[in-house]
Structures are given as structure tokens and as C-alpha cells.
Amino acid sequence: MSLSKIIDNKKKSDILEILHYLKEQDFGFFTSEPENFPNIDFSLNDFPEIIKNSIIDFDKNSEHDLRSILNQLSELGCLTVELRFFDAITQEIFLKYLSYFKTSPVRTLNIVLKYSSWTTCKNMDQILLTNKRLSKVIVHNSPKKLLQKLNHQILIFTTENILDASCCGNISPYYFQSNIDFYKEALTSNTCLDKKVCVDSGGNIKNCPVMKSSYGHISNTKIKNCLDNEHFKKLWQIKKDDIEICKDCEFRYICPDCRAFTISGDIYSKPKKCSYDPYTNLWN
Ligand code: SF4
């Protein structure tokens, strides 16, 4: 349909200016054959997995068995796993944990490690080269900073302790994701917690490791049994359109969410660590 049939001339010139800008930036093109681009059905759920992603935490007192957790996650179709180590571990243990993934269906593995003498850049490069499932490795509490990209893999050394709860839940344009899968998910579900299950360093099964509510201990509760718990799955459904202030924000379908830290503590209020005001369009 021609633009002139649906909008007045003033708006038309504004919209054309935006469209030409998008074309110049290679975000799109004009076509005389729009029938070749049928509408996308955003109501379709393209994610057959029962669990989509998982975070498993460890510290020096953790006793949970990674292999048994991975087996449970595999049965639920989980394809993305993040392992986070609060305390330094030996290279031997690290390689043993990595070997568990060799026969698992997990496609993407992210690891957050505490710096120690063996986590050198050279060593980590070699580990990334021989473990293609490893998508991102972050070494925290490192004496120096480094960011390195190796094809699809990323290696980061940071001087910060990024596992500190104060580093969780930050919202910034840096974390925005503009792709169809994210957009589709944002229309119907929570972009952080949908189909996510976490095991904190104490072995508690949670929606997010920093949240208080636990739905059982991994030593005596099967992850799949938590899926029968309505409270566990309630947070999966809270989309940006349900959240005060966010529902008026132009970034609501590309912005990741955080339900652990909210401005009023209410699960339907805006993330606490977002400084954007959609009513003034300013980041404070
Ligand atoms: S107001 Fe909400 S949707 Fe907008 S940037 Fe902040 S957290 Fe994201």
C-alpha cells in the first residue's frame, strides 16, 4: 500500500526520511515486489525446548554434581548453559567439567572463571580452540583487562568481580538485542527468565541465582518436577508490556529484563538498574 494512502504529507516526508536513512545504513531496501515478503507470524512458538537456558553456580563449598544436572537439562532440551565459578578452580577440574559437554546436546557454553595462575591468555586461547561449544569465557578478578574475539568465540579478562550481585541486572543499550527471535520472545514472555532454570552455589533450584525463592535442592529434587510449580513458571510470562513504565518504552522489545532487582520490589515494576526515562527519552 502506498504511504500517501495512509498518512498525511508532513508525516510522509518524516517517514521517508527515516526509511532512506535505514536504506543508506544497509538495514533494508525498497522493493516493488512486497508479495515476496509475507507477514511473519509472531504468534508461532519456534522454541520447542522445555528449558532454553541454565546458569549453574559453584563456589568452594559447592557439592552438586554437574554431570547429573547436565543429564537432566539434556532431557529438557536445554541448548545453552552458563557455568559460573565464584572461587578459583584447578585446570584439572575445569577440563573435567568441559569433558562432560563433549557428549551433551548443549550447543552454547559460557563460562565465568575466577583468575588463577593457569588462566593465562595463551592457555585459554588453546582451550577455546579445542572446545568449539565454548562461546564465551570471562575471567574475573584478573590483574589486567583484555577482550579478544576468535571467530565466533569471545575471551574476556576483567579486573572486576562480575559475579558480585551488584553487577547483576544492569540495563543499558549495550545489552539491547535487535533480532527476530528476541523480538518474538519479548512479545509474549520475559526476555531474561523465560524457560530458564538456575542452580545456585548452594545447590538451590531457582529462576535466577540472586533471587531468594528456591524450588527445591538439586540433591533431592528433579528439575523437571519444578516445572509443575506455578510460582516457578509465573516469572517466565512477565513481558515488558506487563511492566510499569517499561510498557511505555520504545525499547521494550529489544531490552533484556531483570525481575531480581526492581524499583519497588514488585515483580511488575521497572528494573531498578535502568536509568532510562521513556517519558523524557533521556538516560540519566
Ligand atoms: S524503561 Fe524498561 S524497557 Fe525501557 S530501557 Fe529501561 S528497562 Fe528497558
pLDDT at position 135 is 96
Closest ligand 1 atom, residue 277 Cα: 1
Encode 250-260: b = buried (16+ Cβ within 10 Å), e = exposed: ebbbbbbbbbb
Atom 2, ligand 1: which residue's CA is nearest?
246
pLDDT at position 2 is 61
Q: Which of 191, 275, 276 to probe ligand 1 with, by most ligand atoms within 8 A of CB? A: 276
Closest ligand 1 atom, residue 271 Cα: 7
pLDDT at position 58 is 97
**Would you say residue 99 lies in a domain?**
no
DSSP 214-226: ---BTTT--HHHH
CA of 185 to the centre of ligand 1 (A): 16
Q: Which domain holds residue 225?
A: 167-283
pLDDT at position 193 is 96
pLDDT at position 159 is 94
Atom 1, ligand 1: which residue's CA is nearest?
246
Which residues' Cβ are closer than 6 Å to ligand 1? Answer: 171, 240, 245-246, 249, 251-252, 255, 270-271, 274, 276, 278
Closest ligand 1 atom, residue 276 Cα: 6
Answer yes or no: are the C-beta atoms of 244 and 270 closer than 8 Å.
yes
**Would you say residue 52 lies in a domain?**
no
| Predicted TM-score of the model (pTM) | 0.87
Closest ligand 1 atom, residue 250 Cα: 4
Number of domains in the chain: 1
C-alpha to C-alpha distance for 190 and 22, rounded to whole angstroms: 29
**Would you say residue 85 lies in a domain?**
no
CA of 163 to the centre of ligand 1 (A): 23
Answer yes or no: are the C-beta atoms of 204 and 57 closer than 8 Å.
no
For each of the chain's 284 residues, which pLDDT tens digit applies?
566 666 777 778 888 899 999 999 998 999 999 899 888 888 766 678 899 999 999 999 999 999 999 999 999 999 999 999 999 999 999 999 999 999 889 999 999 999 999 999 999 999 999 999 999 999 999 999 999 998 889 999 999 888 887 778 899 999 999 998 899 999 999 999 999 999 999 999 999 999 999 999 999 999 999 999 999 999 999 999 999 999 999 999 999 999 999 999 899 999 999 999 999 999 98
Cα–Cα distances (Å) from 204 to 9, 176, 258, in that order, read: 60, 29, 19
C-alpha to C-alpha distance for 11 and 88, rounded to whole angstroms: 59
**Would you say residue 259 lies in a domain?**
yes
**Would you say residue 108 lies in a domain?**
no
**Would you say residue 131 lies in a domain?**
no
pLDDT at position 120 is 94
